[in-house]
A = this chain, B = another copy of it.
């Protein structure tokens, strides 16, 4: 039992307990729940939920290190100062809540920083300059240069989701307009899928029987669209080709800013890389500013569990359980 990691996103909470088997880290146990929508301090709030998940995962191993990744602007104090997609975590001191409940001070960080940490720690061969981007309800980022996470002056570095790519474009939940995540998140793909099914551009899975497209009947239209694309549906492939153009806009900007060796794709979209890679790489390769140095695109290690795994790895290192140099150390501190 190495550590517990919990990833809190816009729609789900994913918890893991890591163990080491034969020198390799693996997920021994996993919990997946819808994120609590209740008030921060109430018994149905996110702090209570995270504490419950941590309690379940650490029941046999009291005192095990616990890491938490949050989809939000997490400051150096481990508290989210803002979170456009999970507003119920803003200002919540998960550290205090878990300490009170379990007697352990968790490490709390941005979820995409956790994904970047997982990629830094688990990928072979190791790379020292990578950008991890999580595509879920929103878009998060974990930027690594010279083997170290870029934190910025207050811990808020790495928010590509709120990089404006269309000035005065689609209004964002953050208050700006034209943020990249309005065009390229997993949530956006679901919107596009819903439209495509409703408009008959792609046949829904039960179109044969009902003669009508699936539209809002599906809880996860993005996944259904990806399945249709895998099955060769021309309309679905077309939607993904257009959508991957939006993915490419922001990824190109990140390459122009950070020139990484590797782009790590986390969040829900990471499981769709099999159908997204080709159109996306095509868009990147035809961009004249980066065509000669398009970094490889890879799904985050352990796919959707990457954020939770990275949070656990960070906590392990914070607690001194792992002898390797700390990849999350801040420069200059």
Binding site for B on A (CB under 8 A): 81-82, 128-129, 141, 143, 145-148, 150-160, 162-167, 174-176, 183, 246, 249, 252-254, 256-261, 287-289, 292-293, 295, 330-332
Q: 17 A-B residue contacts at CB 8 Å?
A: A129-B153, A146-B331, A150-B258, A153-B259, A155-B259, A156-B293, A157-B257, A157-B258, A157-B259, A159-B256, A159-B289, A160-B256, A160-B257, A163-B257, A165-B165, A165-B167, A254-B257
Helix, strand, loop or mixed for chain A's interface?
A: loop
How long is the Cα–Cα vector from A150 to B160 in the complex, in angstroms? 17
How many identical chains are in the complex?
2
How long is the Cα–Cα vector from A160 to B258 in the complex, in angstroms? 10
A333 to chain B: closest residue by CB? B146
The 6 residue pairs across chains A and B that have the minimum distance between CB atoms:
A152-B259, A146-B331, A175-B288, A153-B261, A157-B259, A146-B332
Q: Is the CB–CB distance between A145 and B331 below 8 Å?
A: yes
Residues in B with CB closer than 8 Å to A129 are 152-153
How long is the Cα–Cα vector from A214 to B174 in the complex, in angstroms? 43
Shortest A91–chain B CB gap in Å is 13
Q: Which of B152, B159, B257 contacts A141 (CB 8 A)?
A: B257
A73 to chain B: closest residue by CB? B289
Q: Which of B81, B288, B332 contacts A147 (CB 8 A)?
A: B332
Residues in B with CB closer than 8 Å to A159 are 256-257, 289
How long is the Cα–Cα vector from A154 to B294 in the complex, in angstroms? 11
Q: Is the CB–CB distance between B259 and A176 below 8 Å?
A: no
Q: Is the CB–CB distance between A331 and B165 below 8 Å?
A: no
Q: A165-B167, A331-B148 are in contact. Are A257 and B143 (CB under 8 A)?
A: yes
Residues in B with CB closer than 8 Å to A256 are 156, 159-160, 162-163
Q: Is the CB–CB distance between A289 and B82 below 8 Å?
A: yes
Q: Is the CB–CB distance between A152 and B260 below 8 Å?
A: yes
Residues in B with CB closer than 8 Å to A293 are 154, 156
Residues in B with CB closer than 8 Å to A330 are 146
Q: Which of B143, B148, B158, B259 contacts A151 (CB 8 A)?
A: B259
Shortest A72–chain B CB gap in Å is 12
Residues in B with CB closer than 8 Å to A332 are 128, 146-147
Q: Which of B145, B150, B154, B249 contacts A164 (CB 8 A)?
A: B249
Residues in B with CB closer than 8 Å to A175 are 287-289
Q: Is the CB–CB distance between A154 and B288 below 8 Å?
A: no
How long is the Cα–Cα vector from A292 to B258 in the complex, in angstroms? 25
Shortest A249–chain B CB gap in Å is 5
A143 to chain B: closest residue by CB? B257
Shortest A48–chain B CB gap in Å is 28
Residues in B with CB closer than 8 Å to A148 are 146, 331
Q: A145-B145, A292-B81 are in contact. Are A253 and B164 (CB under 8 A)?
A: yes
Residues in B with CB closer than 8 Å to A152 are 129, 145, 258-260
How long is the Cα–Cα vector from A150 to B128 in the complex, in angstroms? 12
